[in-house]
Structure 1
């Protein structure tokens, strides 16, 4: 592999996107590698971090990290026995098309500038090459619950299309500060990204926006209050009809009922005392359409720390009618 290089942008390359500049200079380097190197801050322009779609100007200097030689396959770190056992312990369902995990809070789905251990990197435990599972959708690092990966390119493409066309149904459980009123309804509006670092979604922030604002996207969430702990907190079931970054967290905070433990999207209501301050947001249920037969329905149990908070507030999953909850979210 080559060492670190510093290359100057030529006048003919003025205005090029970083990823396309790399493609012309190093055609053997996959676009996915370029994006990953940008996220990690290993590709820099005049010493600053950039994204794949950033533009370069003539005369700027591009830091190029060590790259594989043409024909050389980049080495992948070998998973430890502990990591292999860990990721396999998260599996809650598997068939010929997909693997479903109950992702724990704190485990990122993808790598970022400060994230070395993540679910995507652990998928080598299930195969390599075309046999290696591929990500289909995402969950925030601090959100727990159902997450699926596709087995092979064809299955991954079909599953990704189901998410993109909103044919999947997702149900999240959250503990909200206070009690939303009305107790059942919709939250909708426009939101946009307010910034981030190196394309790292975990460090991005979403803000309210108006229709027509640059980068604004419409977001719609259905919700229903499942149970209440006085006026201090409530158990809320949520269905994101759209799939924007941090959508559920932004919407509940905008109502004045932020999710317990959310330090990014807050409200003026105090949190109940003596509760673990982890983000109490859990992807409870995922319904996936199948080409033949009934949809596949996957559910993930609450992680033990979150279950403890639910118990402390008097919220017991075995005492609710989940069918009724699903009907209220439909």
Structure 2
């Protein structure tokens, strides 16, 4: 395959001469870069096709199209006040959601991550939509994964408990948790007012298991890591309240303790097997700085 190439300070320019797909063409034509580096440049929005930023690996190329390829892994970095992109490929996207954003539309509220991602896909010329696989509460921040097509969404949703092998949250809870670690179990059932009730015996609800370990503590607050064995609605918030140390800032299950004016719950580790490639996908985000400041 032949191509025209003109080197510049910040990018390289090419003209496509044959039908191909984007990543395949980059591997065959861009010298001096490994496959993994080219994928990183593509995911980092460092490739433009006819002046448009493209991240889709299998984006179809036709003769005459002009490509610009950045020399660095990141070129035009996408930024949003509501979420941060952690990882993206043709099947799924992993994001770090800010507090105050719904996972999907509910009622008349328009600010939701699914709509924001759909808008991002349109602006980056990707022929896909965000498919909801799991949810975080509006005021919980942290890691989420969305599928880009219905087939991937169904694999993730129907095999969630087999695919996901580690989910952990960080929380600031009220009071000093004396035990360094432990496990909380109960049956959780939702009433007509959308409030979750916990019971030590079967109440017709769903059995829930949460493991916890204390990372730091003062006489008034504790920084706790929660690891989910089951994933029930409001599970951590209810179980934290069950042991007498509700999550700070929790208006439904809390005690009014709200040191930083937000729900102090953050999903900071998410590990799963890729639904298509079966590769291990392991993601983490830092503990929010305002959580840490409570313990200085």
Is the structural similarity TM-score above 0.5? yes
Match of 1:228 among 217, 236, 255: 217
Q: CA deviation at 1:241?
A: 1.0
Q: CA deviation at 1:312?
A: 3.5
Structure 1 residue matching 2:286: 3-state secondary structure = coil
Specify every segment of 5 or more residues in structure 1 that has no aligned partner in the other structure, as ranges.
1-83, 197-203, 315-330
Match of 2:130 among 117, 133, 144: 133
CA–CA distance in structure 1, aligned partners of residues 231 and 215 of structure 2: 22
Structure holding more helix per residue: 1
Q: CA deviation at 1:226?
A: 0.9
Q: What's 1:280 paired with?
A: 264
CA–CA distance in structure 1, aligned partners of residues 229 and 249 of structure 2: 24
Match of 2:95 among 91, 94, 101: 101
Rate the CA distance shift 1:167–1:91 in 2: closer, same or farther, 3 A: closer
Q: CA deviation at 1:151?
A: 1.8
Structure 2 residue matching 1:298: 3-state secondary structure = strand
Does structure 1 residue 178 correspond to structure 2 residue 178? no
Q: What's 1:153 paired with?
A: 150
Structure 2 residue matching 1:265: 3-state secondary structure = coil
Could you tell me the TM-score, scaled by structure 1's length?
0.59
Contact 1:228 1:234 in 2 (8 A): yes
Q: What's 2:197 paired with?
A: 207
CA–CA distance in structure 2, aligned partners of residues 296 and 168 of structure 1: 10
Q: CA deviation at 1:178?
A: 1.8
Does structure 1 residue 263 correspond to structure 2 residue 284? no
Structure 2 residue matching 1:252: 3-state secondary structure = helix
Match of 1:307 among 263, 286, 289: 289
Contact 1:166 1:241 in 2 (8 A): no
CA–CA distance in structure 2, aligned partners of residues 161 and 298 of structure 1: 21
Moved over 6 A (4+): none
Structure 1 residue matching 2:80: 3-state secondary structure = helix
Does structure 1 residue 92 correspond to structure 2 residue 86? yes
Rate the CA distance shift 1:187–1:179 in 2: closer, same or farther, 3 A: same
Rate the CA distance shift 1:211–1:88 in 2: closer, same or farther, 3 A: closer
Q: CA deviation at 1:160?
A: 1.8
Structure holding more strand per residue: 2
> Which deviates more, 231-240 or 179-188?
179-188
Q: What's 2:236 paired with?
A: 248
> Which deviates more, 205-214 or 154-163?
205-214
Q: CA deviation at 1:244?
A: 0.8
CA–CA distance in structure 1, aligned partners of residues 215 and 251 of structure 2: 24
Q: CA deviation at 1:145?
A: 0.3
Q: Give the number of equivalent residue pairs.
A: 215
Q: CA deviation at 1:89?
A: 5.6
Contact 1:185 1:224 in 2 (8 A): yes
Structure 2 residue matching 1:221: 3-state secondary structure = strand
Contact 1:130 1:153 in 2 (8 A): no
Match of 1:190 among 184, 187, 191: 187
Q: CA deviation at 1:234?
A: 1.1
Q: CA deviation at 1:133?
A: 2.3
Structure 2 residue matching 1:238: 3-state secondary structure = strand
* 1:75-86 equivalences in 2 (<5 Å): 86=80
Contact 1:162 1:289 in 2 (8 A): no
